[in-house]
Structure 1
């Protein structure tokens, strides 16, 4: 057997595999001999079927199977030993030209080669790292929400400002029939609010949906329409009022603080706000980190220039799925996936050059840290190492869990690497400002 590689250019090559009769004949003959021993053919005793008949009936099929096995093994070994960094899989170049009646065979495969490139993680332009802070307005709103949530409901006959209304929205046009509860504070339209104020239990009120709520997404929440219909919904609905309640807000006292955070953790409104701020900003950090990761990825893709074997990859996409694609469909699919492929190559290079692979010990330690946090939430603050090891071992025996935890840890390692090495500029913003600026 002989294998050679011819470079077409820096991104494309052809591998030629030459297989001679000596490479496969012994194996093929052994298989055919076994077939002869076990074949049941009318007119012949078992084991006495003429070899010529066996070869005629099974020879080509056995030959094709064994040669293909040899071919795949040889190709895999060649790519591994030559350390060729290929994209996709080798594509047969001359499979329709193979004459299986011959004794010697020559197979050709097109290869798409990974490009050579450098990654400048630091970059020229700094990426914004948002530090999201909980401002006084947010803290006051959170305190108000808590007081409402733990307050008392007082039934009323008629609607006043600040009341909660339970009723059913209906519309034949959009086939709406949705029972819901909302506060008058969520009503944005002045005309709609005027129509509601003074309405009594049992009344039916007609309301325009345009500008009805503070946010168009509330149309989805309260009217039960789809996400697409929620935006800019402009119809008339009727609301049949079934309940009206005023919510008497809970007092900010020790009983409430203990109910929220446990005995003695918080003992004043000031400490309550500090706790809310601390918890909120921990959650905000996750959103900020995700935004930072997304922005660095976009920056790396934009600023890391290299060519790809486009024609090869389009062909590979065309034939590699469960069902072959048309040439046009393969081009469209490649256009959609090219960006992701580019980042996959960039990320792979960053991980390889900076030793960012996840080890089993790191996976186990990460799982144990997650377990500690979960156990603390249920009042188990100091689990033993033996207990943690046992739980971690059970979790890591599940392949899906290993994959999930591994992906989390991989992302964290990459994010920490970027925080330490990328060029960043910190910007402190409120949560509302972050949403407007980051996702406008």
Structure 2
């Protein structure tokens, strides 16, 4: 067997594999001999079928199968030994004139080669890493939400601005009849609020659905309709009040603190606010880090310049998926996936150059921590090592889950690399200001 390579250009090559008769003949003869021993052909005793008949019936199929096995093994070995960094998979060149009766065969494969490039993490313009804090306004709002949640309802005779109103929305034409509890602050504009103020149990009034709420999701809940159904909905509904209550805030006392965090974990309002701040800012770190990861990824894709073997990859995509695509579909798919492919190459280079690795022990340790945190949510604070190991083993027996954890750990290590080596500036701001700056007033 002989394998040669011709480089078409820096990104494309053709590999030629010459297979001689001696490479496969002994194996083919052995398989056919085994077939002869077990073949059941009418008119012949088992094991006494003429070899010529066995070759005529099975010879070509066995030959083709063995040549294909040789071909794949040789090609994979060649790519490994030559340390060729290929994209996609080798594509066999079309051959319509293979003479399977000949004494040897030649096959050609197209290769798409990964480009050579350098990655520079130091952007000219610094990339912002946000330090998001829970300010007093946010903490006080959370304290009030807790007091409302654990407070008690007191009946009222008429609707006031802070009332909780229970009633039923009805529209016979659309078969709507849905009982809800609502507060006036969810409505859009003051006109609807004015209709409710002073109303009593049993009162009914008509409301236009268009512009009733600031958020369509509130209208979905109020009318018990799907998202597509409420989008642009412009009908009249009747709302009839069945209950009016005032929610008295719960006292900020030890009983409430114990209910929220366990006995004596929090002992004062000051400690409550500190705990709320600590818990909120832990969540903000994840959001801030994800934003940094996204921004560095975007910078790297936009500023790391290299060419790709686009024509080869488009051709490869035609047959790579579960369903074959025509050329136009493959071009569209390539355009959609090019950015992702570029980042995979950049990420791979960063991982290699910075010796980033994730071991099986890393994956097991992460799984154990994840499981322990989940168990703590259900009150199981001190699981044994054996319990954690057994559950982790079951989780990691799922290859998709093991791969997901591995990818998560790689992302964490890349994030640490970016924080260390990229041009990053820190910016401290409240969560409210972070949302406005990053996502706009939505």
Give the TM-score, by structure 1 length.
Answer: 0.92
The reply on whether 1:126 has 2:132 as its aligned counterpart is no
- The CA deviation at 1:160 is 1.8
Distance 1:176 1:304 in 2: 56
Q: 1:56 to 1:384 in 2, by over 3 A?
A: closer
Show the counterpart of 1:194.
194
| Aligned position for 2:304 | 304
Q: Matches of residues 40-79 of structure 1 in structure 2 within 5 Å?
A: 40-79=40-79
Whole-angstrom CA distance in 1 between matches of 2:345 and 2:50: 57
CA RMSD in angstroms comes to 2.4
> Quick check: 176-185 or 157-166, which moved more?
176-185
1:25 corresponding residue in structure 2: 25
Q: Which residue number corresponds to residue 224 of structure 2?
A: 224
Matches within 5 A, 1:18-417: 18-171=18-171, 176-227=176-227, 233-374=233-374, 377=377, 392-393=392-393, 395-417=395-417
CA separation in 2, counterparts of 1:198 and 1:144? 25
**Post-superposition shift, 1:66?**
0.8
Q: 1:312 to 1:400 in 2, by over 3 A?
A: closer
Question: What is the deviation of 1:259?
Answer: 1.8
Q: More displaced, 55-64 or 95-104?
A: 95-104
Please give the alpha-carbon distance, in whole angstroms, between the structure 2 residues aligned to 1:230 and 1:352. Answer: 51
Q: Secondary structure at the match of 2:305?
A: coil
* Structure 2: 5+ residue stretches without partners: none
Q: Deviations over 1:72-91 (max 9, x none)?
A: 11111111111111111101
Contact 1:186 1:214 in 2 (8 A): yes
Number of matched pairs: 440
Deviation at residue 54 of structure 1 after TM alignment: 1.7
- Give structure 1 stretches of 5+ with no counterpart: none
1:31 is paired with a residue whose SS is: helix
SS in structure 1 of the partner of residue 159 of structure 2: coil
Q: Deviations over 1:211-257 (max 9, x none)?
A: 42343432334333444565665443332333222111112222222
- Deviation for aligned residue 1:380: 6.1
4+ aligned runs moved over 6 Å, structure 1: none
Q: 1:177 to 1:326 in 2, by over 3 A?
A: farther
Q: TM-score, normalised by structure 2?
A: 0.92
Cα pair 1:258 1:266 within 8 Å, conserved: yes
SS at match of 1:96: coil
Partner Cα distance (2:146, 2:203) in 1:
31
